[in-house]
Amino acid sequence: MDLSVLEGRRVVLGVSGGIAAYKAVEVCRLMVGAGAHVVPVMTADAHRFIGEVTLSALASEPVHTSLWDDASPIPHTRLGQDAEVIVVAPATARILSAYATGSSEDLLTATLIATRAPVVVCPAMHTEMWEHPAVQDNIALLRARGVTVVDPQSGRLAGGDLGAGRLADPATVLAAVCAVLARGRDLIGLSVVVTAGGTREPIDAVRMIANRSSGRQGHAIADAASRRGATVTVITTSDLATPPGATVLHVETAQQMHDATLEAAETADVVVMTAAVADFRPVCASAGKIKKRDGIPEIVLEKTPDILLALGERKRPGQTIVGFAAETDDLVANARQKLEQKHVDLVVANDVSAPGVGFGLTTNAVTILGADGTCSEVPLADKGLIAGAVLDSVMRFRTGRETQ
């Protein structure tokens, strides 16, 4: 964690009304200690858990609490415009709901809606609340809009209960803020193509060969690239949300993804091949439904086009190609072999047999290997944070190549 990125940066720290509000005091202290100018904003309910004097004493200026009693006639606008990042720790279910739905009933929610700065929310609540479908829908919506979510941890909660919902520790919150500030808009001027989802190869009119890929990791990378200033093209089999302003191409089969990706790659600076492409397809697909009464059909398979190999072979000078490798054993060895055989620059490998990793989940853990000999591990984290780490590796690779 590079704390130097906080030096001189203006951070709005939002504190809402949960028992974990006491941890915001330590978050504030750490950020101020690293040189940040921290502007605290407390909700009315936050005052039930920590004192305004405590936060004012540790922050860079007194606590802001009201839309109506502030020195500025439009405090939410000023706070939102001046912020370089907004952090909400803890973020209660109410705050998450208000932010997701655009309800600006207090100074904190109004500031969140009035900013174009990156936002980091750190949920904290009881397990039953955290797992409620409404809360999870709001979290998914905020992620889709580019908000960084620092997932709560499992542990002891208020009342002595144990479970998920405990606010992430202050060091984890600080690391997420530093990562957001470090990235900034470093992809401005770059054209990035991202593939996502699993391809579907028809057997007949109703059946297909497919895989478990949800497209979440690819869409997270597209979102992160867009937030960092790239011009983004998403080639996807998924119906997940895509970044505003992105070019979106919906495909189904490996051949369709092959054709769309190679065409988009002709002018792309970076291609991130996150999609899980079927390796085989039926030679002949039935136009109608195959009936049980006709017996077990004989399905002859053929290989699908190798999109990553084609990208590697056609790679232009200055272009960066990133492949993904979902493995269940010999992770690094298999990924390195793929890196060499496909002639690509980076391979992002994950062990989909590990807990919390892989298809259909909101979390992932990856090892990123580079053609320059680099190898970095990213431990289990939200797929949005994994997306940031992948793009960080892309930029390090490109910067290193430019300086050679």
Give per-residue pLDDT as tens, 15-48: 999 999 999 999 999 999 999 999 999 999 999 9
Number of domains in the chain: 2
Quick check: 329 pLDDT over 60?
Answer: yes
pLDDT band at 171 (very low <50, low <70, confident <90, very high): very high
| Among 156, 183, 210, residue at a domain's last position | 183
DSSP assignment of 103-127 equals ---SHHHHHHHT--S-EEEEE---H
Domain co-membership, 230 together with 81:
no
Q: What is the pLDDT of residues 344-367, one digit of tens each?
A: 999 999 998 888 887 888 889 999
Quick check: 67 pLDDT over 90?
Answer: no
State the Cα torsion 93-96-99-103 to the nearest 10°.
-10
Domain co-membership, 24 together with 61:
yes
Phi-psi region of 159 (alpha: psi -120 to 50; beta: other; left: phi over 0): left
Position 275 scores a pLDDT of: 96
Domain co-membership, 231 together with 88:
no
> In this structure, what CATH number is given to the domain that contains residue 335?
3.40.50.10300
> In this structure, what CATH number is given to the domain that contains residue 138?
3.40.50.1950
Domain co-membership, 164 together with 195:
no
Domain co-membership, 214 together with 330:
yes
| Among 183, 207, 236, residue at a domain's last position | 183
Domain co-membership, 138 together with 67:
yes
Domain co-membership, 221 together with 341:
yes
Domain co-membership, 143 together with 285:
no
High-pLDDT (> 90) share of the chain, %: 70
Domain co-membership, 174 together with 261:
no
Domain co-membership, 297 together with 375:
yes
Domain co-membership, 176 together with 224:
no
| Among 158, 183, 208, residue at a domain's last position | 183
Q: What is the pLDDT of residues 71-106, one digit of tens each?
A: 777 888 989 999 999 999 999 999 999 999 999 889
End-to-end C-alpha distance for the chain, whole angstroms: 26
Tell me the C-alpha distance between 118 and 30, whole Å. 19
- Range of the structural domain that residue 125 is part of: 3-183
Residue 70: Cβ within 10 Å count: 16
Domain co-membership, 109 together with 196:
no
Q: What's the mean pLDDT when you consider all of the chain?
A: 91
Position 403 scores a pLDDT of: 47
Tell me the C-alpha distance between 264 and 14, whole Å. 41
Q: Which residue has the tokens 């709560």?
A: 152
Is 211 part of the annotated catalytic residue set? yes
Give the bridge partners for 381, in sequence order: 364
Q: Which of 138, 211, 334, 350 is catalytic?
A: 211
